[in-house]
Structure 1
Amino acid sequence: MTRITTHILDTSLGQPAANVRVWLESLEGRNITLISETQTDADGRAAKLTPEPVASGHYRLCADIGAYFTATGRETLYHSAIIDVVIDGEQDHYHLPLLISPYSYSTYRGS
Protein backbone atom coordinates (compact mmCIF):
# COMPACT_ATOMS: atom_id res chain seq x y z
CA MET A 1 0.00 0.00 0.00
CA THR A 2 1.21 3.49 -0.81
CA ARG A 3 0.33 7.14 -0.43
CA ILE A 4 0.12 9.68 -3.26
CA THR A 5 0.88 13.37 -2.74
CA THR A 6 1.12 16.39 -5.01
CA HIS A 7 2.44 19.93 -4.94
CA ILE A 8 1.17 22.38 -7.57
CA LEU A 9 3.37 25.30 -8.52
CA ASP A 10 2.35 28.16 -10.82
CA THR A 11 5.58 28.63 -12.78
CA SER A 12 4.25 31.73 -14.55
CA LEU A 13 4.08 33.54 -11.19
CA GLY A 14 6.84 31.63 -9.42
CA GLN A 15 4.63 30.65 -6.50
CA PRO A 16 2.47 27.82 -5.16
CA ALA A 17 -0.98 27.38 -6.70
CA ALA A 18 -3.38 27.68 -3.77
CA ASN A 19 -7.03 26.59 -3.74
CA VAL A 20 -6.80 24.27 -6.74
CA ARG A 21 -9.41 21.48 -6.65
CA VAL A 22 -7.66 18.12 -7.05
CA TRP A 23 -9.03 14.61 -7.08
CA LEU A 24 -7.71 11.08 -7.35
CA GLU A 25 -9.45 8.37 -9.37
CA SER A 26 -8.84 4.64 -9.63
CA LEU A 27 -9.27 3.03 -13.05
CA GLU A 28 -10.11 -0.63 -13.59
CA GLY A 29 -10.92 -1.25 -17.23
CA ARG A 30 -13.70 1.21 -18.07
CA ASN A 31 -14.68 1.67 -14.41
CA ILE A 32 -13.59 4.91 -12.76
CA THR A 33 -13.86 5.28 -8.98
CA LEU A 34 -13.32 8.54 -7.12
CA ILE A 35 -10.85 7.94 -4.28
CA SER A 36 -10.73 11.45 -2.82
CA GLU A 37 -11.20 15.13 -3.59
CA THR A 38 -9.58 18.10 -1.87
CA GLN A 39 -8.01 21.52 -2.50
CA THR A 40 -4.42 22.63 -2.38
CA ASP A 41 -3.42 24.67 0.64
CA ALA A 42 -1.60 28.04 0.64
CA ASP A 43 1.65 26.18 -0.15
CA GLY A 44 0.07 24.41 -3.16
CA ARG A 45 0.01 21.03 -1.42
CA ALA A 46 -2.83 18.52 -1.21
CA ALA A 47 -2.25 16.88 2.15
CA LYS A 48 -5.28 14.57 2.18
CA LEU A 49 -5.15 13.18 -1.35
CA THR A 50 -4.89 9.61 -0.06
CA PRO A 51 -6.35 9.59 3.45
CA GLU A 52 -5.78 5.83 3.39
CA PRO A 53 -2.94 4.09 1.51
CA VAL A 54 -3.87 2.76 -1.94
CA ALA A 55 -3.05 -0.58 -3.58
CA SER A 56 -1.13 -1.19 -6.77
CA GLY A 57 -3.10 -0.07 -9.80
CA HIS A 58 -3.97 2.49 -12.42
CA TYR A 59 -4.78 5.98 -11.10
CA ARG A 60 -5.48 9.48 -12.38
CA LEU A 61 -4.54 12.57 -10.42
CA CYS A 62 -6.65 15.44 -11.79
CA ALA A 63 -6.40 19.18 -11.12
CA ASP A 64 -8.97 21.83 -12.04
CA ILE A 65 -6.43 24.33 -13.33
CA GLY A 66 -9.01 26.09 -15.53
CA ALA A 67 -10.90 27.33 -12.48
CA TYR A 68 -7.61 28.31 -10.82
CA PHE A 69 -6.56 30.51 -13.76
CA THR A 70 -10.07 32.00 -14.07
CA ALA A 71 -10.02 32.86 -10.35
CA THR A 72 -6.67 34.63 -10.81
CA GLY A 73 -7.99 36.60 -13.81
CA ARG A 74 -6.01 34.80 -16.50
CA GLU A 75 -6.95 32.95 -19.66
CA THR A 76 -5.77 29.38 -20.09
CA LEU A 77 -5.72 26.72 -22.76
CA TYR A 78 -6.31 23.85 -20.33
CA HIS A 79 -9.47 23.11 -18.38
CA SER A 80 -7.77 20.40 -16.32
CA ALA A 81 -4.43 18.70 -15.89
CA ILE A 82 -4.42 14.91 -15.66
CA ILE A 83 -1.55 12.75 -14.45
CA ASP A 84 -2.27 9.16 -15.53
CA VAL A 85 -0.05 6.71 -13.61
CA VAL A 86 0.40 3.07 -12.71
CA ILE A 87 1.29 2.75 -9.04
CA ASP A 88 3.31 -0.03 -7.44
CA GLY A 89 1.71 -0.55 -4.03
CA GLU A 90 4.99 -1.91 -2.67
CA GLN A 91 6.44 1.62 -2.80
CA ASP A 92 5.85 3.70 0.34
CA HIS A 93 5.11 7.00 -1.39
CA TYR A 94 4.56 8.59 -4.79
CA HIS A 95 5.01 12.35 -4.92
CA LEU A 96 3.64 13.75 -8.20
CA PRO A 97 4.36 17.50 -8.45
CA LEU A 98 2.50 19.50 -11.08
CA LEU A 99 4.04 22.59 -12.66
CA ILE A 100 1.44 24.79 -14.35
CA SER A 101 1.22 27.93 -16.45
CA PRO A 102 -1.68 29.19 -18.57
CA TYR A 103 -0.45 27.41 -21.70
CA SER A 104 1.45 24.39 -20.41
CA TYR A 105 1.80 21.90 -17.60
CA SER A 106 4.33 19.24 -16.70
CA THR A 107 4.95 16.69 -14.01
CA TYR A 108 7.62 14.32 -12.70
CA ARG A 109 8.06 11.84 -9.90
CA GLY A 110 9.34 13.75 -6.92
CA SER A 111 10.68 12.57 -3.60
Structure 2
Amino acid sequence: MGKLTTHVLDTAHGCPAKGIRLELWGLSESGQKTLHKTTITNADGRTDNPLLTEDLVIGIYELVFIVGDYFASYPEILPNPPFLNRVPIQFGIADTTAHYHVPLLVSPWSYSTYRGS
Protein backbone atom coordinates (compact mmCIF):
# COMPACT_ATOMS: atom_id res chain seq x y z
CA MET A 1 0.00 0.00 0.00
CA GLY A 2 1.30 3.45 -0.92
CA LYS A 3 1.45 6.46 1.35
CA LEU A 4 2.19 10.17 1.46
CA THR A 5 4.49 11.63 4.12
CA THR A 6 6.30 14.91 4.72
CA HIS A 7 8.70 16.62 7.06
CA VAL A 8 9.95 20.18 7.51
CA LEU A 9 13.51 21.24 8.23
CA ASP A 10 14.28 24.78 9.44
CA THR A 11 17.46 25.67 7.52
CA ALA A 12 17.80 29.05 9.27
CA HIS A 13 18.20 27.42 12.68
CA GLY A 14 19.50 23.99 11.62
CA CYS A 15 16.74 21.93 13.21
CA PRO A 16 13.45 20.15 12.53
CA ALA A 17 10.54 22.60 12.37
CA LYS A 18 8.18 21.72 15.22
CA GLY A 19 4.67 23.15 15.16
CA ILE A 20 4.32 23.95 11.45
CA ARG A 21 0.66 23.83 10.50
CA LEU A 22 0.00 22.29 7.11
CA GLU A 23 -2.92 21.58 4.84
CA LEU A 24 -3.27 18.83 2.25
CA TRP A 25 -5.50 19.62 -0.72
CA GLY A 26 -6.64 17.54 -3.67
CA LEU A 27 -7.01 19.33 -7.01
CA SER A 28 -9.59 18.29 -9.59
CA GLU A 29 -8.96 18.47 -13.34
CA SER A 30 -10.96 21.71 -13.36
CA GLY A 31 -8.71 23.17 -10.65
CA GLN A 32 -11.20 22.93 -7.79
CA LYS A 33 -9.55 22.24 -4.43
CA THR A 34 -10.77 19.82 -1.76
CA LEU A 35 -9.23 19.92 1.71
CA HIS A 36 -8.17 16.40 2.76
CA LYS A 37 -6.37 17.08 6.02
CA THR A 38 -4.83 19.66 8.33
CA THR A 39 -2.15 18.72 10.82
CA ILE A 40 0.90 20.03 12.70
CA THR A 41 4.49 18.82 12.63
CA ASN A 42 5.91 17.15 15.74
CA ALA A 43 9.29 17.67 17.46
CA ASP A 44 11.02 15.80 14.61
CA GLY A 45 9.42 18.11 12.02
CA ARG A 46 7.24 15.23 10.78
CA THR A 47 3.57 14.44 11.07
CA ASP A 48 2.64 11.74 13.57
CA ASN A 49 0.92 9.70 10.85
CA PRO A 50 1.13 9.54 7.07
CA LEU A 51 -0.96 12.20 5.34
CA LEU A 52 -2.56 9.61 3.06
CA THR A 53 -2.55 5.80 3.06
CA GLU A 54 -5.62 3.81 1.97
CA ASP A 55 -7.16 7.02 0.60
CA LEU A 56 -4.18 7.62 -1.73
CA VAL A 57 -5.48 8.01 -5.28
CA ILE A 58 -3.93 9.06 -8.56
CA GLY A 59 -4.14 12.81 -9.00
CA ILE A 60 -2.74 16.25 -8.29
CA TYR A 61 -2.27 17.37 -4.69
CA GLU A 62 -1.09 20.48 -2.93
CA LEU A 63 0.63 20.70 0.44
CA VAL A 64 0.47 24.15 2.00
CA PHE A 65 2.92 24.81 4.81
CA ILE A 66 2.04 27.78 7.03
CA VAL A 67 5.56 28.94 7.86
CA GLY A 68 4.86 32.58 8.76
CA ASP A 69 3.51 31.73 12.22
CA TYR A 70 6.43 29.39 12.88
CA PHE A 71 9.13 31.97 12.08
CA ALA A 72 7.25 34.73 13.92
CA SER A 73 7.86 32.78 17.14
CA TYR A 74 11.63 33.37 16.88
CA PRO A 75 13.14 36.53 18.37
CA GLU A 76 14.91 37.68 15.19
CA ILE A 77 13.48 40.80 13.65
CA LEU A 78 11.52 39.73 10.60
CA PRO A 79 9.49 41.95 8.28
CA ASN A 80 5.78 42.35 8.77
CA PRO A 81 4.23 40.93 6.69
CA PRO A 82 6.73 38.08 6.43
CA PHE A 83 8.43 37.39 3.11
CA LEU A 84 7.14 33.79 3.24
CA ASN A 85 3.85 32.99 4.93
CA ARG A 86 2.23 30.06 3.10
CA VAL A 87 4.39 27.74 1.01
CA PRO A 88 2.32 25.74 -1.51
CA ILE A 89 3.81 22.69 -3.22
CA GLN A 90 1.82 21.02 -5.99
CA PHE A 91 2.75 17.50 -7.02
CA GLY A 92 1.27 14.51 -8.78
CA ILE A 93 0.70 10.97 -7.55
CA ALA A 94 0.82 8.44 -10.38
CA ASP A 95 1.36 5.18 -8.47
CA THR A 96 -0.88 4.38 -5.50
CA THR A 97 1.46 1.60 -4.36
CA ALA A 98 4.48 3.92 -4.00
CA HIS A 99 5.73 5.95 -1.05
CA TYR A 100 5.62 9.66 -1.84
CA HIS A 101 7.65 11.77 0.58
CA VAL A 102 7.51 15.55 0.10
CA PRO A 103 9.90 17.33 2.47
CA LEU A 104 10.25 21.09 2.86
CA LEU A 105 13.54 22.80 3.66
CA VAL A 106 12.67 26.35 4.68
CA SER A 107 14.01 29.60 6.10
CA PRO A 108 12.21 32.94 6.45
CA TRP A 109 13.52 33.88 2.97
CA SER A 110 13.67 30.69 0.88
CA TYR A 111 12.53 27.10 0.51
CA SER A 112 13.17 23.97 -1.51
CA THR A 113 11.66 20.53 -1.87
CA TYR A 114 12.28 17.22 -3.58
CA ARG A 115 10.74 13.77 -3.81
CA GLY A 116 12.24 11.91 -0.89
CA SER A 117 12.08 8.27 0.11
Same fold by TM-score greater than 0.5: yes
2:12 corresponds to: 12
Structure 1 gap ranges (5+): none
CA distance in 2 between counterparts of 1:60 and 1:73 reads 30
- The share of aligned pairs that are identical, in percent, is 42
Residues 27-82 of structure 1 deviation map (CA, whole Å, 9 limit, x = unaligned): 00231100111000000001332264310000001100011111223424111111
- Give the conservation status (yes or no) of the 8 Å contact 1:54–1:89: no
- Give the conservation status (yes or no) of the 8 Å contact 1:2–1:55: no
CA distance in 2 between counterparts of 1:97 and 1:79 reads 17
CA distance in 1 between counterparts of 2:74 and 2:94 reads 36
Name the SS for the 2:42 alignment partner. coil
Greater strand content: 1
1:90 corresponds to: 96
C-alpha RMSD of matched pairs (Å): 1.6
CA distance in 1 between counterparts of 2:8 and 2:46 reads 6
1:31 corresponds to: 32
Instruction: Give the Å deviation of 1:83.
Output: 1.0
After superposition, residues 1-80 of structure 1 pair within 5 angstroms as 2-28=2-28, 29-48=30-49, 49-50=51-52, 52-74=54-76, 75=78, 76-80=82-86
Alignment-mate amino acid for residue 36 of structure 2: I
- Between the two proteins, the alignment pairs up a number of residues equal to 111
CA distance in 2 between counterparts of 1:31 and 1:109 reads 24
Based on CA coordinates, which of the two structures has the bigger radius of gyration?
A: 2
CA distance in 2 between counterparts of 1:30 and 1:94 reads 22
TM-score by length of 2: 0.86
TM-score by length of 1: 0.91
